[in-house]
Amino acid sequence: MNKLAPTFVVLVIGLIMAIAVGDMPPFGALNSPASSYLSPYYIKEAYDVAGVHNIVTAVLAYWRGYDTFGEVTVIFTAGIAVMALLGRE
Amino acid sequence: MNLSFYLQHYNYWICVSLFMIGIYTMIAKKNIIKKFMGLNIVDTSIFLFFISMGDKRNAAAPILHAENEIIVNNYVNPLPSVIILTAIVVALGLTATALSFAVKIYEEYGTLNSEKIERLW
Amino acid sequence: MIWVLDILLLILLPLTAIVVVRSRDLMVAAIVYSIYSFDMAIIYTQLNAPDVGLAEAAVGAGATTILFLIAITKTERMEE
Amino acid sequence: MPADRWEDVIAQTIARLLIPMILLYGIYVIFHGHLSPGGGFQGGVILASSVILYSLVHELDQATKFFKKKFRVILEPIGPIIFAFIGLLCIFFSGNFIQYSKLPFLGDKEMAAVSITIIEAGIGVTVMAMVISIFFSLGGRNR
């Protein structure tokens, strides 16, 4: 019984996710909810506001600057934590 | 619920199966490093889910090649790429910290089996 | 006919993931995880996200696999 | 010279040819990241992978000569410091925290592009130092 318990849990999770996938829009749809409200603004305004051709870099460093700042801090903390945990060389 | 419904969602079914495989690894396997590999598989399945949500049919990568006239449907959604780009590097930091903890645990207890570690602790 | 290649790449993902889960040798699991990650990078580039594909090819197939290999050589190789 | 030292002439020669190209490609990926796919995160990991290749081919002690612990501790917080400095400079010129267009040196668009490039370079240095220090700390000599 103890060997079958992980399989049972995984099958329940998979059933829930399969029901959720049934409500997703079709793959590659042009007017899906993920790409119809906010992202047309970024695509239109990226060169006029940020002056950068690559839209991903523009969103990463201009509109989502706080996010990137926190993420750089997370990387810094991870490096310091590993150096403090096993600092022998 | 016919065949074309399943064929239109094929990326999402792969994501669901990868998520199930990763969760099974994290629950059933006893080795700690194998658990971290399962964690990475779960991470990657979620990344694939986000990236397939942002794709558009007959569109190009989100890099502008003409500044004057911009047609929105010619470029894919750039927002999932941004979120996943930061998440990949955070996953690297998470894996490094977890593996250094695993090395410390092996130096302390001499085993990587999680049940033995719980018994010795 | 590009969708045939796409579906073949997508089918390779669960196969390599199952090999990672089932193998007793952790070294084999780490190297097959590198193959899995590189396949995932190709799929990202196919889905028009070249930034994420570049990051996954550098981080997943390079750095994470090397860290796993170092941790395995520091500890024990075979899973009991 | 220890007995278990591993050296291979072919691998060392190939690595001597490959390492400058990897360094050049990493710098290209960082500084060309606003026109083509790339940016600080990818370029930093590529730069760090050249150092990892050097220390795999040679001995680990020779690689730690170039990147000592004091040098890495200085190199690692460069990214957050540059980011916070430019953000606070925007506040100094009566803008919001990272509103680059308030900086008075160039036009609006050009100032934003230049600031984005500087910030990406800082992120690249931080990521490179982090991956190198994780590799050196995790692959230390005594087990």
Average pLDDT, chain A: 86
pLDDT over 70 (residue B89): yes
Q: Which of B72, B94, B103 sits opposite A44 (nearest CB)?
A: B72
Nearest-Å Rg of the Cα atoms of chain A is: 22
Strand partners, A7: none
Question: Which residues of chain B neighbour D133 with C-beta distances below 8 Å?
Answer: none
Q: What's the rounded mean pLDDT across residues D97-111?
A: 81
Give residue-wise pLDDT tens across range B18-37.
999 999 999 998 899 999 99
Q: Is the Cβ of C70 closer than 8 Å to some Cβ of chain D? A: yes
Look up tokens 């926190």; give the residue.
A70
pLDDT at position D98 is 81
Amino acid D47: pLDDT: 93
Residues in chain A: 89
A48 contacts on D by Cβ (under 8 Å): 109
- pLDDT, tens digit, 9 for 90 and up, residues A51-82: 888 888 888 888 888 889 999 999 999 988 98
Amino acid at A67: D
How crowded is residue B75: how many other Cβ atoms within 10 Å of its Cβ?
24
Secondary structure letter of residue C63 according to DSSP: I
What is the tally of structural domains in chain D? 1
Residues spanned by the domain of D14: 9-138
Mean per-residue pLDDT over chain D, rounded: 85
pLDDT at A64: 87
Binned at pLDDT 50, 70 and 90, residue D5 comes out as low
Check CB contact under 8 Å for D135 and C58: no
- Confidence class for position A89, pLDDT limits 50, 70, 90: low
Residue D3: pLDDT above 50?
no
Flag whether residue C15 sits within 8 Å of chain D, measured between CB atoms. Answer: no
What distance in Å separates the CA atoms of residue C10 and residue C30, rounded to the nearest whole number? 20
- Which position has the token pair 């930091």? B93
Average pLDDT over residues C22-41: 92
pLDDT band of C19, cuts 50, 70, 90: very high
Nearest CA in chain D to B81: D37
Strand partners, C78: C25
Tell me the nearest-neighbour CA distance from C11 into chain D, angstroms.
Answer: 27
Q: Does A27 reach chain B within 8 Å, measured CB to CB? A: yes
Q: Is the CB of C55 less than 8 angstroms away from the CB of B89?
A: yes
Domain annotation covers residue D81: yes
Judge whether D4 lies within some domain: no
Q: What pLDDT score was predicted for residue A88?
A: 63
Distance CA D138, CA B99 (A): 8
Contact C26, B106 (CB under 8 A): no
- Summarised one tens digit per residue, pLDDT across range B47-75 is 999 998 888 888 888 888 877 778 888 88
Please check whether residue D3 lies inside any domain of the structure: no
- B92 to chain D: which residues are within 8 Å by CB? 45, 131
Partner D contacted by B92 (CB < 8 A): yes
D7 versus B72: the higher-pLDDT residue is B72
D2 in a structural domain: no
Distance from CA of D79 to the nearest CA of B (A): 15
**Residue-level pLDDT at D6:** 65
Q: What number is the average pLDDT over the span A82-87?
A: 84
Q: Residue B75, SS3? A: strand
Q: Which two tokens stand for residue B110?
A: 């001499």
User: Which string of DSSP letters, residue by residue, matches D9-71?
Assistant: HHHHHHHHHHHHHHHHHHHHHHHTTTTSS--HHHHHHHHHHHHHHHHHHS-HHHHHHHS-HHH
Q: What would the pLDDT profile of D39-87 be if each residue is shown by its tens digit?
A: 888 999 999 999 999 888 887 777 788 888 888 889 889 989 998 998 8
Contact C51 D143 (CB under 8 A): no
Looking at residue B40, its pLDDT comes to 93
Contact D138, B96 (CB under 8 A): yes
pLDDT at C4 over 70: yes
The pLDDT > 70 percentage for chain D reads: 94
The CA distance from B78 to the nearest CA of chain A, in Å, is 6
> In angstroms, rounded to a whole number, what is the distance separating the alpha carbons of residues B75 and A74?
31
Q: Per mean pLDDT, which range of B1-10, D20-29, D107-116 is the poorest?
A: B1-10
* Neighbors of chain A by Cβ distance (3+ pairs < 8 Å): B, D
Report the C-alpha gap between A66 and B109 in whole angstroms. 42
Determine, yes or no, domain membership for D85: yes
Q: Are B99 and D137 in contact (CB under 8 A)?
A: no
Tens digit of pLDDT for each residue in C59-77?
988 889 999 998 998 888 8
Give the residue from A88, C75, A2 showing the smallest Cα distance to B33. Answer: C75
C13, C39 in Cβ contact below 8 A?
A: yes
Q: Is the pLDDT of residue B44 over 90?
A: yes
- In this structure, which long-range contacts are made by residues A34-39, counting pairs with CB atoms below 8 Å and at least 24 apart in sequence? A34/B53, A34/B54, A34/B77, A34/B79, A34/B80, A35/B54, A35/B56, A35/B76, A35/B77, A38/B79, A39/B54, A39/B77, A39/B78, A39/B79
- Architecture of the domain made up of B3-120: Orthogonal Bundle (1.10)
By percentage, how much of chain B surpasses pLDDT 70? 93
CA atoms within 13 A on the CB side of D44: 26
Residues in B touching C51 (Cβ below 8 Å)? 81, 85
Measured distance CA(A2)–CA(D63) in Å, rounded: 49
Q: Band of the pLDDT at D19, cuts 50, 70, 90?
A: very high
Give me the residue spans of the domains in chain B.
3-120
> Would the CA dihedral through A79, A80, A83, A85 be positive or negative?
negative
* pLDDT of B4 above 50: yes
C37 pLDDT more than 90: yes
CB proximity under 8 Å: D 117-136 to C: 131, 134-135
Question: Using the beta-carbon criterion (under 8 Å), do C67 and D135 form an inter-chain contact?
Answer: yes
